[in-house]
Amino acid sequence: MSQIPRFRRGFRFQWEPAQDCYVLLYPEGMVKLNGSAGAILDQVDGQRDVEAIIAALQQQFPDAGDLGADVRAFLKDAEQQHWIELS
């Protein structure tokens, strides 16, 4: 069964025009996200599961080849960093 990622309590994901990137904000801290991390986390809405997110990204980046492994690895890493929870 595919898991649904959601941002951990206290974490906020948003676009920052001044930095020209997505950031993840949390208590007294901020992570600047690179393009692919931003694109993946932009799909995290607490509704869609990992497979649905991969499918959406495949559609968004049709020339990128198979994204499945990279997206799963990134989300696993984000979970280990305690940015998101997978349930």
Provide the mask over 17-56, with x wherever binding to other proteins is found by CB under 8 A and - wherever it is not: xxx---x-xxxxxx--------------------------
Closer Cβ to other proteins, 20 or 66, answer by number: 20
Closer Cβ to other proteins, 24 or 44, answer by number: 24
SS3 per-residue string spanning the chain: CCCCEEECCCCEEEEECCCCEEEEEECCEEEECCHHHHHHHCCCCCCCCHHHHHHHHHHHCCCCCCCHHHHHHHHHHHHHCCCEEEC
Smallest gap from Cβ 14 to other proteins, in A, equals 7
